[in-house]
């Protein structure tokens, strides 16, 4: 209960600071929209020259992209801790975090949240509605709940990978350069996994399971039954990876020695 | 002239001191090239060629486009914005050199560093992983080098332009971010301009962006015919000349109404 109250207090403070610099926020949302538009235009342009990519149609690929945007936006709002090493370990900020009676990762999530990233949820939903209406997808009454579950699963996948890499910083300084790499590998999940070779497909499914953020869960709504097993695995993978990353984080915190003074 | 060459050297040495930061960069670019490699192969599928380019030409295009980006790409726009915001630009203005030219030279020093420690090893690594067609014709390499110089200049000029706009907007990090995304698409980094619909290609002919990535990459993959190459390089030269005009104009206006915030 205490955690929920804290969350809303932090969120309220965050909104206050952001609304002081309104233009900054609008410009930031605008440039996010721009990069989403560029990816969207890329898909449209490519399909000006072909009708199918490895058995997926234009609108299906667009739907997958739209789905991907939603968990990615939620991840970006709360788990965007790519600068954890610089900010908390090198500068010794972790000392301050550890003196407080709240779980350390939760505090960092609160401090680092970027709520404007949630705007991507709206864009993603709009893209899915656009593609879905062109594909004539039918939705059962329980599908919205499945959607929430799969989105949460995808978010946890992203979150756990970044938490895992952040926890490496408790042992060594190197991960600063691994973080940006993860964003680029994450982009592989935006496209159907069957365009990649077996090794990459295996990595994207079981090691860095980015495929569970885009194509696998989206396949459920597209009625691609051959991928259903993977689609339903999404929340399981998300939860297992997330619990593992929390475990690694907790072990890492005990190894934290502080930074000099 | 000597002081400008010295600027190139100093920036080069500065980058050299932090060269380990760049090894992960090569990996990131390779990851990106890999994503597009698989995507393009899936797009080509059974098709022999699209818009006159074979699948092999396309993967070579993607690889060289990214590796060329390592050369022409820099954060000079952000540096200028930062110096304007912090008021440092006031000191820069009284120093005995042309500020914009000095920034260009710093960018060049950075570019030469990245060319030798990023693009070259990166290209070798990428060509070991993915099939890439290298031309055996020395003329192709020469023309590629020439067009790469102009692509650096055009990108640099656009960076200067967005950088000095900070004089008027005070905080333009959003503009700089948006510019980067737009350039990735319109310069032909993500896909060749010939893949755009005809009307968009028409519009693009009146914009400088394709001079940044599309022209050198098309020359490298030998997707251009001889007259097309001449036309494309002329296109680059003309844009380099045209862009001098707005930069000088905005620069003059900006200097007159310079407000140093707490400098």
> What is the value of pTM for the model shown?
0.90
Task: Using the predicted structure, report yes or no on whether residue A102 has a pLDDT greater than 70.
Answer: yes
Whole-angstrom distance, CA of residue A240 vs CA of residue A57:
32
User: Residue written as tokens 């039918």?
Assistant: A138
**What's the gap in Å between the CA of A181 and the closest CA on chain B?**
6
What six digits make up the tokens of B106? 């710093």
Report how far residue A7's alpha carbon sits from residue A3's, in angstroms, rounded to the nearest whole number.
6
Calculate mean pLDDT across residues A238-249.
Answer: 96
**Out of A85-99, A171-185, B125-139, B222-236, which region has the weakest mean confidence (pLDDT)?**
A171-185
* The pLDDT of residue B262: 55
pLDDT tens-digit readout, A197-241: 999 999 999 999 999 999 999 999 999 999 999 999 999 999 999
What's residue A259's pLDDT? 66
A239 near B CB under 8 A? no
Q: If phi over 0 gives left and psi between -120 and 50 gives alpha, with beta otherwise, what is residue A54?
A: left
Q: Please state the three-class secondary structure of chain B as a single string.
A: CHHHHHHHHHHHHHHHHCCCHHHHHHHHHHHHHHHHHHHHHHHHCCCCEECCEEHHHHHHHHHHHHHHHHHHCCCHHHHHHHHHHHCCHHHHHHCCCCHHHHHHHHHHHHHHHHHHHHHHHHHHHHHHHCCCCCCCCHHHHHHHHHHHHHHHHHHHHHHHHHHHCHHHHCCCHHHHHHHHHHHHHHCCCCCCHHHCCHHHHHHHCCCCHHHCCHHHHHHHCCCCCHHHHHHHHHHHHHHHHHHHHHHHHHHHHHHHCCCCCCC
Shortest Cα distance from A21 to chain B (angstroms)? 11
Is the pLDDT at A187 greater than 80? The verdict is yes
B131 CB neighbour count, 10 Å cutoff: 12
For residue B49, list its beta bridge partners. B54
The rounded distance, in Å, linking the Cα atoms of B14 and A194 is 44
Kindly list the residues from chain B whose CB atom is less than 8 angstroms away from the CB atom of residue A119: none
Residue of chain B minimizing CA distance to A34:
B178
Determine whether the interchain pair A184/B38 forms a contact, defined as Cβ–Cβ distance below 8 Å. no
Contact with chain B for residue A199, Cβ under 8 A: no
**Nearest of B39, B27, B185 to residue A182 by alpha carbon:** B27
Distance CA B122, CA B30 (A): 7
User: What's the pLDDT tens digit per position in A18-33?
Assistant: 888 788 788 888 888 9
Return phi, psi of residue A244, to 5°.
Answer: -60, -40
Is B35–A187 a contact, with Cβ atoms under 8 angstroms apart? yes
β-bridge partners, A190? none
Dump strand ranges (E) for chain A.
52-53, 56-57
In terms of Cα–Cα distance, which of A113, A114, A108, A155 is closest to A253?
A: A108
Nearest-by-Cβ selection for A181 from B31, B174, B178: B31
- Of A24, A28, A42, which has the smallest distance from its Cβ to B190's Cβ? A42
Residue A212 DSSP code: G
Q: Where are the domains of chain B?
A: 2-256
Listed as own residue / partner, the contacts of B95-100 with beta carbons closer than 8 Å and 24 or more positions apart are: B97/B3, B97/B4, B100/B160, B100/B164, B100/B247, B100/B251
**Domain extent listing, chain A:** 2-255
Q: Which residue of chain A comes nearest to B37, CA vs CA?
A: A196
- Terminal Cα distance for chain B, rounded: 30
Question: How do the pLDDT tens digits run along chain B, 263 residues long?
Answer: 788 888 889 888 888 887 777 778 888 889 899 999 999 999 998 888 898 899 999 999 999 999 999 999 999 999 998 888 888 888 888 888 889 999 999 999 999 999 998 899 999 999 999 999 898 899 999 999 999 999 999 999 999 999 988 888 767 788 888 888 889 999 999 999 999 999 999 999 999 999 999 999 999 999 999 999 999 999 999 999 999 999 999 999 988 877 665 54
Q: What percent of chain A has pLDDT over 70?
A: 97
* Under 8 Å between Cβ of A56 and A191: no
How far from B224 is each of B131, B132, B155, CA to CA, in Å? 20, 17, 22
Q: How far apart are CA A27 and CA A116, in angstroms?
A: 11
Which residues, in sequence order, are bridge partners of residue A143? none
Phi then psi dihedrals of residue A183, to 5 deg: -60, -40
- Tell me which DSSP letter residue A44 carries: H
Interchain CB distance below 8 Å, B47 and A52 = no
Q: Give chain A's mean pLDDT.
A: 90
- pLDDT computed for residue B33 by the predictor: 92
The pLDDT assigned to B95 comes to 86
Chain B residues whose C-beta is within 8 A of a chain A C-beta are 21, 23-24, 27-28, 31-32, 34-35, 38-39, 41-43, 45, 47, 50-51, 171, 173-175, 177-178, 181-182, 184-185, 190-191, 195-197
ipTM over 0.90: no
Instruction: Judge contact between A231 and A214, C-beta under 8 A.
Output: no
Q: Which of B79, B56, B66 is nearest to B32 (CA)?
A: B66
Q: Which two tokens stand for residue B118?
A: 């990023």
B-interface mutation test, from A181, A193, A203, most B Cβ less than 10 A away: A181
Q: Which of A116, A113, A129 is nearest to A31 (CA)?
A: A116
Helices and strands: H and E segment counts in chain A: 12, 2
The SS3 assignment for A48 reads coil
In the prediction, which pLDDT does B7 show?
Answer: 87
What local confidence, expressed as pLDDT, does residue B170 receive?
Answer: 67
Does position A249 have pLDDT exceeding 60, yes or no?
yes
């Amino acid at each position: 209960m205490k955690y929920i109250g804290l969350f809303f207090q932090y969120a309220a403070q965050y909104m206050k600071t952001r609304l002081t610099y309104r233009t900054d926020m609008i410009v930031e949302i605008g440039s996010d929209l721009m990069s989403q538009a560029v990816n969207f235009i890329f898909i449209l342009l490519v399909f000006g020259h072909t009708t199918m990519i490895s058995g997926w149609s234009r609108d299906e690929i667009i739907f997958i992209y739209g789905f991907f945007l939603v968990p990615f936006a939620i991840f970006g709002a709360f788990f965007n801790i790519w600068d954890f090493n610089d900010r908390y370990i090198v500068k010794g900020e972790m000392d301050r975090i550890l003196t407080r009676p709240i779980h350390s990762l939760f505090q960092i999530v609160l401090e680092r949240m970027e709520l404007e990233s949630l705007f991507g949820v709206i864009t993603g939903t709009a893209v899915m509605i656009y593609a879905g209406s062109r594909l004539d997808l039918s939705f059962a009454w329980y599908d919205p709940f499945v959607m929430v579950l799969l989105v949460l699963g995808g978010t946890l996948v992203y979150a756990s990978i970044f938490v895992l890499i952040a926890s490496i910083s408790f042992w060594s300084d190197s991960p600063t350069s691994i973080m940006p790499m993860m964003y680029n590998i994450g982009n592989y999940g935006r496209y159907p996994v069957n365009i990649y070779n077996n090794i990459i497909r295996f990595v994207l499914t079981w090691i860095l399971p980015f495929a569970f953020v885009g194509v696998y869960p989206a396949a459920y709504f597209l009625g691609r039954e051959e991928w259903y097993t993977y689609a339903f695995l999404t929340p399981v993978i998300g939860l297992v990876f997330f619990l593992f990353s929390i475990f690694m984080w907790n072990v890492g915190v005990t190894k934290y020695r502080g930074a000099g003074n | 002239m000597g002081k400008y060459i010295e600027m190139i050297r100093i920036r080069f040495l500065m980058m050299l001191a932090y060269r380990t930061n760049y090894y992960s960069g090569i990996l990131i670019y390779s990851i990106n090239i890999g994503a597009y490699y698989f995507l393009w192969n899936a797009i080509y599928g059974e098709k022999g060629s699209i818009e006159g380019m074979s699948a092999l030409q396309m993967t070579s295009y993607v690889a060289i486009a990214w590796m060329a980006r390592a050369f022409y790409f820099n954060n000079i726009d952000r540096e200028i914005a930062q110096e304007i915001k912090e008021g440092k630009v006031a000191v820069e203005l009284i120093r005995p050199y042309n500020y914009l030219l000095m920034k260009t030279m710093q960018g060049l020093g950075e570019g030469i560093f990245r060319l030798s420690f990023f693009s070259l090893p990166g290209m070798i690594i990428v060509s070991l992983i993915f099939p890439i067609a290298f031309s055996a014709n020395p003329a192709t390499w020469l023309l590629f080098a020439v067009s790469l110089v102009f692509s650096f200049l055009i990108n640099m000029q656009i960076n200067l332009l967005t950088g000095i706009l900070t004089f008027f907007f005070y905080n333009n990090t959003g503009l700089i971010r948006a510019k980067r995304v737009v350039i990735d698409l319109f310069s032909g980094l993500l896909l060749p301009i010939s893949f755009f619909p005809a009307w968009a290609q028409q519009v693009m002919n009146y914009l400088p962006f394709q001079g940044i990535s599309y022209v050198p990459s098309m020359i490298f993959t030998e997707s251009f015919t001889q007259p097309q190459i001449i036309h494309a390089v002329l296109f680059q030269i003309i844009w380099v000349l045209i862009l001098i005009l707005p930069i000088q104009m905005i620069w003059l206006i900006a200097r007159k109404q310079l407000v140093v915030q707490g400098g």
